Structure 1
């Protein structure tokens, strides 16, 4: 597994699951509140139609004097004078002994009460008022359907997820044409209860409903589906959902997530393609995103482009000015054979480091650039500082630099020190033999001269 795969593989699932899932917001509209402010004695049932087999109900008449009182209360409510509206309704209920209200009239009274309580953010009282609406016999079927939907929403607002699901199931039983929003509401409830199978079933019904109608499913719906697929480790499906999000709601976060998903599928070329698409659209705006982009390019053996990404990030102060990032840039430039540019990058990295390891590695780059004196100075500085991870390698390079500057005794000392580590013994011995052979050759030439 390459560097980027190691860095990303462990974190991809937690990264996706940590993202906030914005499902259907539980905001009840005035239409959803029933007829309270949309005309007394009228009701809409969330675009749903009653089941055809249910008989039409014979609803009691709304008497004129009752209608006038309800209209008075509604007018006050529309003017946001909720206290007056409530007082009118209180008077209507207080006088019931002398002037009994029929079930439909009571339903309208409780419906308007519910609106008042909801407007005061007293959701428990609003819920009770709506329950009282449902309890009334022979109210219009559409009114009951609409009210049951609103009851379910109020349960969800109060985070009573199981009660909300139960209320929604009763609503589903009464309608032939539930709309997509109803399934989203069910998905949200099951998601909160961590019943991800049922949540996924319901959110997919909502998405399919919109697809069949040629409508674009809402971003929040795709996000909930994507989360659920990732939670169930259904990588292919999560990837397809991200592709839909990118098609309809192109945002940086989705390109980055898609890149991670391709990583999970070992599709490295597509992983790089997704990340690069975000990059060229100037969507990357974090240090880690630029470093990931550079690492992907390095793994794809495009080091010069990786260096360009890091240079841009450093210039725009997106990539942090620290030792690790300058080291990454130096490595990219060195792989791209841009040694002259790699040197100042590694110098910067070494100067910001707390130990000597990068000075030792800087010495290696100096050697590649035939700057032997600087190589000697840098490696010795690193060794004296300490913390050099492969001191044996550093001493091999040091011996080469001493040899190139004809400091043969110091070169021998460096090679002997390197050879004490079994990992470098073979190469140290080879260099000692080569150096001794070269010295012997030089002596022979001098004798002949």
Structure 2
């Protein structure tokens, strides 16, 4: 039996988190922030605040018009023109000419311009200036603090991002699931897996309670965190959910591996075979793994068919080890005539004589004694045969079958020098002597 090679997949590579947090934060930032300072300003100004009362200065008409002009330039992709208008607003009479709410809207539009230029550090500074203004609408401050947290994540400043996001959580009455995921990603980057898992599970449960399907990346983050904690059962549970809602090759492969960790060999084989029959296993290493699983499941014929197809269409690498797997599978399936060509290729591509010794054994099984003699002698002369005593026993049998009794005796005596084969070699010599005596008696009689 050929055992499944664990080195085909490393556990870390197999279940690595397919998620770049900074990129996710950028996407989320673009979606959530909106960057519409005037429309959001009006909404924030009108929004009722049940927790505290803030006396927010009015947004004067002439300032509104200038902001609208700058925003129009920004939306037309004339960012330098928009920035010039804002610079003029700040310079005209100094910052004191603008009240805190007006100044907050100016900085908010500056932030949009810097973000559009991918100058995230300046965008972050502009947003910090927004929340530093006194008496701005609470909704405006809450929204801006969330954006600040996201920008820290974009810059991979995880600690400050987490701190900013926690401050946002303290201020908001209705945090959404995306915020919990963002916080989870921050803790993941800080390698605080317990807090990361707590927050992503919270996001998932929020969606489940509303009858909504949680996002694939959320389940992936939870799956990775459970795996890192060594909770194989929960890792499998998440993978099974992913397969239900987001069926993909990677999840079939991963859950197969995890079933193996649970010692559930039938499920491990079934999951991998499901991926194979759907044509998902397009890599040679995956197909070889499929063959190993079939061999471990005592289905050598299917293993041989997988190897045969992959070697013929070129998806499985044309090397000695793979031909050896194919030859061994055909032999276990009692298809000796198909095993021999595969093992011949395996032996020819090998650097040692081991496969020639095994090929000789197969030739003997197929009553091709001369080929068995040639293969085993080639293997022994090349070296590297793991059990030369066994090879010499087979060689002795082949010589015996071709009536080369002196060479057979010599091969059996050589095998007998290894105590592991001495008893069997002695039996063969005794049997051969008996047979020779019988032949002499027949000749004389």
- TM-score class normalised by the smaller sequence: over 0.9
Indicate if the aligned counterparts of 1:8 and 1:263 stay in contact, CA closer than 8 A.
Answer: no
How many angstroms does 1:43 deviate by?
4.5
Cα-Cα RMSD = 2.1
Matched, 1:264 2:261: yes
CA shift in 2, pair 1:98/1:357, >3 Å: closer
Matched, 1:397 2:394: yes
SS in 2 for 1:96: coil
- Kindly report which structure 2 residues correspond to 1:309-388, keeping only aligned pairs within 5 A, or say none: 309-388=306-385
Matched, 1:286 2:283: yes
CA shift in 2, pair 1:51/1:391, >3 Å: farther
CA shift in 2, pair 1:417/1:38, >3 Å: farther
Point out 4+ residue stretches in structure 1 off by more than 6 angstroms: none
Higher relative contact order (CA 8 A, sep 6+): 1
CA shift in 2, pair 1:220/1:118, >3 Å: same
Which of 420, 424, 432 is the matching residue for 2:421? 424
Indicate if the aligned counterparts of 1:110 and 1:133 stay in contact, CA closer than 8 A.
Answer: yes
Q: 2:31, 2:303 → 1: CA distance?
A: 55
Q: 1:83, 1:325 → 2: CA distance?
A: 62
Indicate if the aligned counterparts of 1:51 and 1:174 stay in contact, CA closer than 8 A.
Answer: no
Matched, 1:433 2:434: no
Q: 2:350, 2:72 → 1: CA distance?
A: 73
How many angstroms does 1:2 deviate by?
7.5
- Tell which deviates more after alignment, 143-152 or 213-222: 213-222
Q: 2:330, 2:208 → 1: CA distance?
A: 49
Q: 1:193, 1:245 → 2: CA distance?
A: 26
Q: 1:43, 1:306 → 2: CA distance?
A: 65
TM-score (norm 1): 0.93
CA shift in 2, pair 1:257/1:51, >3 Å: farther
Matched, 1:114 2:111: yes
Q: 2:239, 2:202 → 1: CA distance?
A: 18
Partner in structure 2 of residue 26 of structure 1: 25
Indicate if the aligned counterparts of 2:17 and 2:220 stay in contact, CA closer than 8 A.
Answer: no
Indicate if the aligned counterparts of 1:35 and 1:41 stay in contact, CA closer than 8 A.
Answer: no
Partner in structure 1 of residue 169 of structure 2: 172
Query: What is the aligned residue count?
Result: 441
SS in 1 for 2:385: coil
Q: 2:411, 2:340 → 1: CA distance?
A: 23
How many angstroms does 1:9 deviate by?
8.2
CA shift in 2, pair 1:50/1:401, >3 Å: farther
Indicate if the aligned counterparts of 1:51 and 1:176 stay in contact, CA closer than 8 A.
Answer: no
Q: 1:151, 1:412 → 2: CA distance?
A: 87
Partner in structure 2 of residue 412 of structure 1: 409
Q: Which residues of structure 2 form unaligned runs of 5+? A: none
Q: Deviations over 1:259-316 (max 9, x none)?
A: 1101110000000011000000000011111111111111111111110111111122
Indicate if the aligned counterparts of 1:16 and 1:227 stay in contact, CA closer than 8 A.
Answer: no
Q: 1:234, 1:304 → 2: CA distance?
A: 35
Partner in structure 1 of residue 6 of structure 2: 8
Indicate if the aligned counterparts of 1:262 and 1:270 stay in contact, CA closer than 8 A.
Answer: yes
How many angstroms does 1:39 deviate by?
5.4
TM-score (norm 2): 0.94
Q: Which residues of structure 1 form unaligned runs of 5+? A: none
How many angstroms does 1:98 deviate by?
9.7
Q: 1:149, 1:372 → 2: CA distance?
A: 80
SS in 2 for 1:189: helix
Q: 2:163, 2:48 → 1: CA distance?
A: 18
How many angstroms does 1:203 deviate by?
0.9
Q: 1:245, 1:93 → 2: CA distance?
A: 52
